[in-house]
Amino acid sequence: MVRQGSVVVTISDIPRVLLISGPTASGKSALAVVLAQRLDGEVINLDSVQVYRGARIGAATISEDEMQGVPHHLIGFLDPSTPWDVRKMADLVGATAAAIRGRGRMPILVGGGGMYVSTLFAGISPLPERNETLRAELELRQSEDLYSELVERDPSRAAQLHPHDRLRIIRAIETAYTVSTAATELYKERIPPWVAGLMLVLTPPRELLYQAINTRVDQMIGDGIEDEVSELLRVVPQESVLWGAIGYAHVLRRQRGELLFEEFRELMQRDTRRFAKRQLTYWRNEPRKQGWRELCASVDWTWLTERGTIEGLCLESPVSVLRFAGMGAAGIAALGASA
């Protein structure tokens, strides 16, 4: 039981979900479709780029044909000029999961972003909403100047941060301007989780994963990511967070003449591999940090597609983690063999 303002939230109030997570290019989306067909489920996207309209190739967004008739939510619904943050994501995902549950179906969340996963399943500190005007002003200042101001306004929070951690420093100063409570104190409070349930985490061998990443980048290039960026540039403002995403940021550098084709291709592959490595690191450390329950390491796919078994696990523990040391395609093949 947890308290959110004057409202008491019990664990039974939180919608139970199946999360499919793991590094980029590991086959999460395709696996989600197969499991949704077997579990009478609907898929909820957690990817922070796929939410934007027009971000199809560069975000590796699942196509309508690939969905195979399975309902998918929170894909391509947001204007790229609209800021998207973890609190907005959590509220929408939580409401969507509850609505799917209300229809008697299984919500299947898909995404590899650690911050989103931790927020949804472990809650978040009640920080104020972003102030875009203030942020724009703070972004113009040097990191040393920003850190000095934070030392004056919230020395405890400043002591927790590296002087060059601009993102968190700006957020702490923004908080100090917006509310009277220091960010350090707000971080001690928690808004309760939005969902609970079973996490299926793909942790493929690095060689296989890196090969898949390199192949995906080549496919993005072949599918026309450069043309997609040219189209988006006509309607998406330069300050959009979309342009900071891996792939889109690389195409912009290519179009500005900063990178030759082979440099652009290799840099995009390298940075995607590094991103995947960070995602794997998150899954090595976060379950233990959060106290999430770890299940046996081997996946029995027939067992996994039994709705009652998953329901039981969701009710038995607020959060359970089940790792699969392979690509999503291997799970799909196993399901096909057991059908």
**Number of residues written out for the chain:** 339
pLDDT in tens, 129-148: 777 788 888 888 998 999 99
CATH architecture designation of domain 11-123+192-206+282-338: 3-Layer(aba) Sandwich (3.40)
| 100 vs 338, more confident | 100
Average pLDDT on 98-125 reads: 92
**What does residue 16 show for φ and ψ, rounded to 5 degrees?**
-85, 135
For residue 297, is pLDDT > 70? Answer: no
For residue 7, is pLDDT > 70? Answer: no
User: What does the block give as tokens for 288?
Assistant: 């233990």
Task: Select from 210, 338, 194 the least CA-distant residue to 277.
Answer: 210
Query: What pLDDT is attached to residue 154?
Result: 85
pLDDT in tens, 256-266: 999 999 999 99
Average pLDDT on 37-61 reads: 96
Q: Are 11-123+192-206+282-338 and 132-186 equal in CATH topology? A: no
The helix, strand and coil proportions of the chain, stated in percent and rounded to the nearest 5, come to 55, 15, 35
Classify strands 16-21 and 196-202 as parallel, antiparallel or unpaired: parallel
User: What does the block give as tokens for 258?
Assistant: 């900063």
CATH classification (class only), 132-186: mainly alpha
Average pLDDT of every residue of the chain: 87
3-state SS, residue 127:
coil
Q: Where are the domains of the chain?
A: 11-123+192-206+282-338, 132-186
User: What does the block give as tokens for 21?
Assistant: 């997570």
Beta strands in 226-318 (DSSP E): 293-294
| Residue 12 burial (C-beta neighbours within 10 Å; 0-12, 13-18, 19+) | exposed
Instruction: For residue 135, give every residue at least 6 positions away whose Cβ sits within 8 Å of its Cβ, in sequence order, or none.
Output: 170, 174
pLDDT band per the 50, 70, 90 thresholds, residue 8: very low
pLDDT band per the 50, 70, 90 thresholds, residue 107: very high
